[in-house]
Amino acid sequence: MSGLWLNRAGQTIACRLRFWLTHQSARPDYIDLVAGYVSIRGLMSIEAELRRALDRGTQIRLLLAVTQDEAIWIRLPDPFTDSTDLLRHRLARNVDYLRTELSGMPMVRDAQVRLLGLAYLLRRPGFSCRRHETAFVHSKVFTQHGADDKPVAVIGSANLTLGGMIRNEECSSQVTGSDAQEAVDYATALWNEAVPFDLTAIIEEQFSNYPHELVFLRMLFELYGGDVNAEDKLSLAAWQRDGVARALAIAREYGGALIADDVGVGKTYEAAEIIRRGVYERGERAVVICPANLVRMWRHRLRGWNLPADVLSYHGLPVAVRTWEEAGEAALPYDLVVLDEAHWLRNRTTWRDALRVALASAASPPQVFALTATPIQNRGQDLVEVLGLALPRLTVQHRRALADLCRRADRLDREQLNDLHRLLDTMMVRRTRQGIKENYPQGFGDATLVFPEQLPQEVRYSLPPRLRTLVRDVLAALDVERADLPQSALDDYHALAPNEEPPAALTMAAYHLQDYQIHPADGRRSTSAFDWTRLSKCMLCKRLESSVAALASTLEAMRSRCADVLHDLDRGTVYLPTDRHLTLPGHAWDGTLDDNTLAGLETDEALERQPGSKRVAHRADLFAVSQLRQDLVHDIAILTGLRDTADSLIPEDPKMPVLINLATETVRHPDGPKLLIFTGSRVTGEFITAELERHIAGNPALAGYRGRIASLARKERPTDKQIQRTTADFAPQAADIAPGILADHYPRNRYDLLVCTDMLAEGINLQQTAFVIHFDLPWNPMMIGQRAGRANRLGSPYEHITCFSVFPDRSLDAQLHLLNRLYGKINVAAAAVGVPTPIIPGATVEPRDFTAAISSSEPAKDTFPAFDADVYRAMLGTALRTPGLGAAIRDFPRKAGGVAGDGRLRGFVFCFRVHTAPRHKTTLCTIFLNGASLVDQMSCIREAAASDIAGWLRRAGHEPHNLTEPSGTLPDDVLQHLWPALEQARKRVATLHHLTDHESDDQITVITWLALAALPSRRTARE
pLDDT band at 989 (very low <50, low <70, confident <90, very high): very high
Q: Answer yes or no: are the C-beta atoms of 893 and 104 closer than 8 Å.
A: no
Task: Name 174's bridge partners.
Answer: 154
Helix (H, G, I), strand (E, B) or coil at 167: helix
Mean per-residue pLDDT of the chain: 81
E strand or H helix that includes residue 909: strand 907-914
Q: Averaged over 891-895, what is the pLDDT?
A: 90
The string of DSSP letters for 90-131 reads: HHHHHHHHHHHHHHHS--SHHHHHHHHHHHHHHHSTTEEEEE
Decide if pLDDT at 728 tops 70: yes
- The Cα–Cα gap between 563 and 576 comes to 15
**Structural domain boundaries of the chain?**
4-207, 209-222+854-1012, 230-444, 453-459+654-807, 506-642
For residue range 510-520, what is the model confidence (pLDDT) as tens digits? 888 888 988 66
Q: 930 versus 721: which is more confidently predicted?
A: 930
Question: 998, exposed or middle or buried, with CB in 10 Å at 0-12, 13-18, 19+?
Answer: exposed
Q: Answer yes or no: are the C-beta atoms of 978 and 1009 closer than 8 Å.
A: yes
Give CA separation, 504 vs 37, 540, 774, in Å: 101, 16, 34
CA atoms within 13 A on the CB side of 460: 9
Helix (H, G, I), strand (E, B) or coil at 175: strand
* Phi, psi values for residue 785, rounded to 5°: -65, -40
| CATH assignment, 4-207 | 3.30.870.10
Q: What angle do CA 104, 106, 110 make, to 5 degrees?
A: 145
Amino acid at 467: L
| CATH assignment, 453-459+654-807 | 3.40.50.300
The helices-and-strands tally (H runs, E runs) of the chain is 40, 32
Q: Answer yes or no: are the C-beta atoms of 406 and 233 closer than 8 Å.
A: no
Check the CA dihedral 709-712-714-718 and report its sign: positive
Give CA separation, 821 vs 292, 344, 827, in Å: 29, 20, 10
- The Cα–Cα gap between 782 and 373 comes to 9
> How confident is the model at residue 533, as a pLDDT?
63
Q: Which of 597-611, 699-713, 754-768, 817-831 has the lowest mean pLDDT?
A: 817-831
CATH of 230-444, one of 3.40.50.10810, 1.10.1740.10, 3.40.50.800, 3.40.50.80: 3.40.50.10810
For residue range 254-312, what is the model confidence (pLDDT) as tens digits? 999 999 988 778 899 999 999 999 999 999 999 999 988 889 889 988 998 999 999 99
Task: Name 682's bridge partners.
Answer: none
Is 453-459+654-807 in the same CATH topology as 4-207?
Answer: no
Q: Averaged over 705-710, what is the pLDDT?
A: 94
Report the predicted TM-score, pTM, of the whole model to 2 decimal places: 0.69
Q: Answer yes or no: are the C-beta atoms of 41 and 166 closer than 8 Å.
A: no
For the chain, percent of residues with pLDDT exceeding 70: 82
pLDDT band at 631 (very low <50, low <70, confident <90, very high): very high
Decide if pLDDT at 965 tops 50: yes
Decide if pLDDT at 446 tops 60: no
Q: Answer yes or no: are the C-beta atoms of 674 and 752 closer than 8 Å.
A: yes
- The Cα–Cα gap between 244 and 275 comes to 11
For residue range 20-73, what is the model confidence (pLDDT) as tens digits? 998 876 788 999 999 988 999 999 999 999 999 999 999 999 999 887 655 444
Q: Answer yes or no: are the C-beta atoms of 141 and 182 closer than 8 Å.
A: no
Q: Residue 245: which region, alpha, beta or left (left: phi > 0; alpha: psi -120 to 50)? A: alpha
Q: Cis link prior to 673 (omega < 30° from 0)? A: yes
Q: Averaged over 567-572, what is the pLDDT?
A: 94
Q: Answer yes or no: are the C-beta atoms of 244 and 315 closer than 8 Å.
A: no
For residue range 522-568, what is the model confidence (pLDDT) as tens digits? 555 544 444 556 666 667 777 777 899 999 998 998 899 999 999 99
The string of DSSP letters for 512-523 reads: -GGGGBSS-TTS
Alpha carbon 729 to chain centroid distance?
34
Pairing of strands 286-290, 310-313: parallel
- The Cα–Cα gap between 475 and 852 comes to 47
- The Cα–Cα gap between 830 and 596 comes to 17
pLDDT band at 613 (very low <50, low <70, confident <90, very high): low
E strand or H helix that includes residue 982: helix 972-992
Secondary structure in 3-state letters for 204-251? HHHHEEECHHHHHHHHHHHHHHHHCCCCCCCCCCHHHHHHHHHHHHHH
- The Cα–Cα gap between 809 and 814 comes to 9
Roughly how many angstroms between the first and final C-alpha of the chain, as a whole number?
Answer: 64
Q: Answer yes or no: are the C-beta atoms of 827 and 838 closer than 8 Å.
A: no
- The Cα–Cα gap between 359 and 364 comes to 9
* Phi, psi values for residue 866, rounded to 5°: -60, -30
- The Cα–Cα gap between 445 and 170 comes to 57
* Phi, psi values for residue 305, rounded to 5°: -90, 0
Secondary structure in 3-state letters for 599-665? HHCCCCHHHHCHHHCCEEEEEHHHECHHHHHHHHHHHHHHHHHHHHHHHHHHHHCCHHHHHHHHHHH
Helix (H, G, I), strand (E, B) or coil at 1022: coil
Q: Answer yes or no: are the C-beta atoms of 599 and 648 closer than 8 Å.
A: no
Contact residues for 190 (Cβ-Cβ < 8 A; gap 6+):
34, 63, 65, 132, 137, 139
> How confident is the model at residue 449, as a pLDDT?
59
Task: Name 141's bridge partners.
Answer: 34, 155
Q: Answer yes or no: are the C-beta atoms of 786 and 793 closer than 8 Å.
A: no
Give CA separation, 304 vs 78, 225, 553, in Å: 47, 31, 44
Q: Answer yes or no: are the C-beta atoms of 818 and 808 closer than 8 Å.
A: yes
Give the gyration radius of the chain's Cα atoms.
38
Highest mean pLDDT: which range of 421-425, 496-500, 550-554, 781-785: 550-554
Residue ranges with strand state E in 414-555: 428-429, 442-444, 447-448, 453-460
Decide if pLDDT at 858 tops 50: no
Decide if pLDDT at 740 tops 60: no
pLDDT band at 376 (very low <50, low <70, confident <90, very high): confident
